[in-house]
A and B are shown apart, each in its own frame.
Chain A
Amino acid sequence: MTVARVVFLLVLVLMAATPFAAAQESFPSRPITIVAPFPPGGVADLTARPVAAAMEKLLKSPVGVVNKTGAAGAVGMQSVAVARPDGYTLLLALSSISIIPEADKIFGRPPAFTVDQFAPIALISADPTVLVVPADKPWKTAKDFIDDARSRPGQISFSSSGVYGTLHMAMELLSHAAGIKLRHVPHAGAGPALTAILGGHVDALASGPAVVLPHIKSGKLRALAGWGDKRVAALPDVPTFRELGYPDAEFYIWAGLFAPKATPEPVLAKLRATVREAVNDPEFKGAMDKLETPITFKQGEEFQRFFETDARRLAEGVRKVGRVDTK
């Protein structure tokens, strides 16, 4: 090997390593993009934007939100899973991140991505779903509902945001915990699912509390129980399924920030520190307040544990549902 060649190789190696080192020293040196895998106006989008705004202030560098929608979130999540792991492309994912790969498995197709392609940064919010029924239905309590469902399996219907979607999984976890069978009428998103129950076309819906609160207040819907480990602050009289003796019926629509797995540790550390500060920003708090979404901040070990428990519960749920046979 000639000297010239050695030098050439050295230069190559150095060139390859330099941007990496530079990125570590002065992260961020260019705009960061947070991918929201759902359309504007959805939970992911509405959480991502105030997070981005608060991070921008702290990092003194632009942080943008891009809605990369499609295939129930799979398109955006996959795009981050394979993005360059440099901390400039982040993902604001919802609970469905643990559901999609499991559903792929059931159909025997190559998964669009897997959960271990992501490095968790922080959990931002975790909103338990609540069970609502039209106010003109006879069920006054969750017990009435479950007893009735048990006596006539497959007769009580519920709408959801889509098959294997978050609102579907919440209901399935309850069905298995309580040993009941309900009739599933999937809709194309949470909005149409809400319209269906307001129009009286289905009997029940599991929904994030914020969107159904105005309808509970106006007397069109009645809340029977919640999926959280404690009661929803805005609905203090509504018990949890845990209180009612169904501890397995626990479900949250949570929103968390992730980076691609191989993102260097110093960059991740910087991002984690930034988000920790960002959630205390008064403007961020104000924005989440208006959405009536309580901030549930978790990081590191704690988030990892929450994420893994949740993923296991959901994976089990998906497997129990299995492949949906349509007639």
Chain B
Amino acid sequence: MLETLHNLAIGFSVALSPPVLLYAFVGCVIGTLVGVLPGVGPLAGISLLLPATFGMDATRAIVMLAGIYYGAMYGGSTTSILMRIPGEAASVMTCIDGYAMARKGRAGAALAIAAVGSYVAGSASVIGLMLLAPPLAAFALRFGPPEYFALLLFGLLVLAYMSSGSMLKSLAMAALGLLLGMVGIDQMSGYFRFAYGVVELGDGLGVVPVAVGLFGVAEILATAGQPVPPKVIEPRLRELLPSRTEWRQSVGPIGRGTVLGFLVGIIPGSAHIISSFVSYALERKLSKHPEQFGHGAVAGVAGPESANNSATSGAFVPMLALGVPSGPIPAVMLAAMMVHGVSPGPLLIRQQPELFWGFIASMYVGNLVLLILNLPLVGIFVNLLRVPYPYLYPAILAFSILGVYAVNGSVVDVWIMLGMGVLGYVLRKLDFETAPIVLGVVLAPMIELALRQSLAMSDGHYAIFFQRPIAATLLVVAAGMMLLSLRTFIRRGLDWRARMALAEKGES
């Protein structure tokens, strides 16, 4: 412990030296911008800036790239809350309740809670990264295809808690999402499925164009379709800060989101987006007022936003401790380190303590910088809502197209986004919720690959899922959850969902 503190002191002396501090700041600012732009996420941001760091000192370069990574996670919530457009994929869940809060005039509060939640999650998970990295990383490696498959089944169960309306409708949407997720090259045989000769479809429908289309473009279309334009919300200064009740409601979700996000983040191959889905479902399950979700529940913003931020630090655990990329973004970071002649892995901490501890310390500093940067920005961002729709929405549409195009430089992605926008609009008119589609698109390829890899490992024997302790435990728990949810069907009692449906019928 004493040694850790001593090392951390060295780290802070590196992180607080003016040049490193400057690069951390630059990274955070770029990251925030990248996060705010619809569609452009941390992956695109880091990739675009990676070459710019080639001439730099290794510590500075890595501190800056990491700043972009978690900066984007902060910034992603902004457009989700203000305009219902996910700034990056992991902010999809924030769109639902964050935007509902904004419509009620609580945009400032939502933004502030997202920023504070991100700060707490970011800082707490760095402590986790520092103290637990080596043992946790070794544990995370034990997640092979069978374990991953069992974990993803959990992800599917989450569906039950995601929508506020009819269960049948949300299952239908999830099925549609799973079907859309089938497009693309079959990873096991190399066969092109549903690509119709379009090579770009080989990689399937990307989460980014689908999410931006279903949420953002659909929202723009829906607003344009209203006979009377919605009233421009004019935020007042004293409404910018969350009320005491709102703070109290967000403490628990932030704490749980932090732990959850960190754990999901360290598992190789899993994505931030899953951590935010699971956090949302968890908060709804625990909430005393599940019916408020979807209509501006504070916990629906605080939980997922904290989760996707702490997943960021979690993702660094296998990368720093073992030199194993746990996802596409850590893979780029890993490459960045190799470009600078640093080889991450078990020997990194011993061979280059200044880089390792400087990096850790800079994450504390970076999170603080982001909080200081983001809280005053709340006031500015909220004022965007004053811009009249005829100016605001075309601009947003243009930015969405730019952002989605920039991720892969692919026009096909732009068409997917526009197509999804129209689909999202139609579905909204029919009262379907679109979040389960996004979940389906994310999960389908992962579940399929994990299942088939597991079967390839076992030569086709399903027993593999029960011979491995982690996978078996996860499956048993998942089965238990299924049975619990069936209980309500058997009892024929009305749960909150049914009560709400009745109430809504009464209203209309």
A contact set with B: CB distance below 8 Å: 39-42, 45-46, 49-50, 53, 65-72, 74-75, 78, 103, 107, 109-110, 112, 154, 157, 162-164, 183-189, 191-192, 194-196, 198-202, 210, 213-215, 217-218, 220, 287, 290-291, 323-327
Contact = CB atoms under 8 A, between A and B. Distances in A.
Given A41-B334, A198-B324, A199-B142, A324 B408 contact: no
Nearest to B322: A198
Given A39-B328, A41-B332, A199-B141, A78 B199 contact: yes
B339 A194 contact: no
A214 B456 contact: no
Given A199-B142, A215-B345, A217-B347, A185 B456 contact: yes
Given A40-B47, A291-B339, A326 B189 contact: yes
A202 B328 CA distance: 21
Contact of B459 (A75, A109, A154): A154
Contact of A74 (B141, B202, B328): B202
30 contacts: A40-B50, A40-B335, A53-B54, A69-B203, A70-B200, A70-B202, A70-B203, A71-B185, A107-B191, A157-B456, A162-B187, A162-B190, A184-B456, A185-B457, A186-B187, A186-B188, A194-B324, A195-B325, A199-B142, A199-B144, A199-B268, A201-B144, A201-B457, A214-B323, A214-B346, A218-B347, A290-B341, A291-B339, A323-B189, A326-B186
Nearest to A163: B190
Interface of B: 46-47, 50-51, 54, 141-145, 185-192, 197, 199-200, 202-203, 268-269, 318, 322-326, 328, 331-332, 334-336, 338-341, 343-347, 408-410, 449, 452-453, 455-457, 459-460
Contacts of B328: 39
Contacts of A65: 51
Nearest to A168: B190
A195 B268 contact: yes
A327 B460 CA distance: 8
Nearest to B143: A199
Contact of B199 (A75, A199, A215): A75
B69 to A, nearest CB: 13
A290 B339 CA distance: 6
A210 B202 CA distance: 29
Contact of B409 (A68, A110, A218, A324): A68
Given A46-B338, A75-B410, 19 more contacts: A39-B332, A41-B47, A71-B203, A74-B199, A75-B200, A107-B190, A109-B192, A183-B457, A185-B457, A195-B141, A195-B268, A195-B326, A198-B141, A199-B144, A200-B142, A201-B145, A214-B323, A214-B345, A218-B347
Nearest to B49: A40
A188 B187 contact: yes
A163 B187 contact: yes
A49 B54 contact: yes
A112 B268 CA distance: 32
A39 B338 contact: no
Contacts of A218: 345-347
Contacts of B269: 192, 195
A122 B447 CA distance: 41
Contact of B410 (A40, A50, A70, A191): A70
Given A40-B47, A194-B324, A214-B343, A183 B459 contact: yes
B182 to A, nearest CB: 14
Contact of B189 (A68, A200, A324): A324
Contacts of B326: 195
A290 B338 contact: yes
B412 to A, nearest CB: 9
Given A70-B199, A103-B190, A185-B456, A46 B339 contact: yes
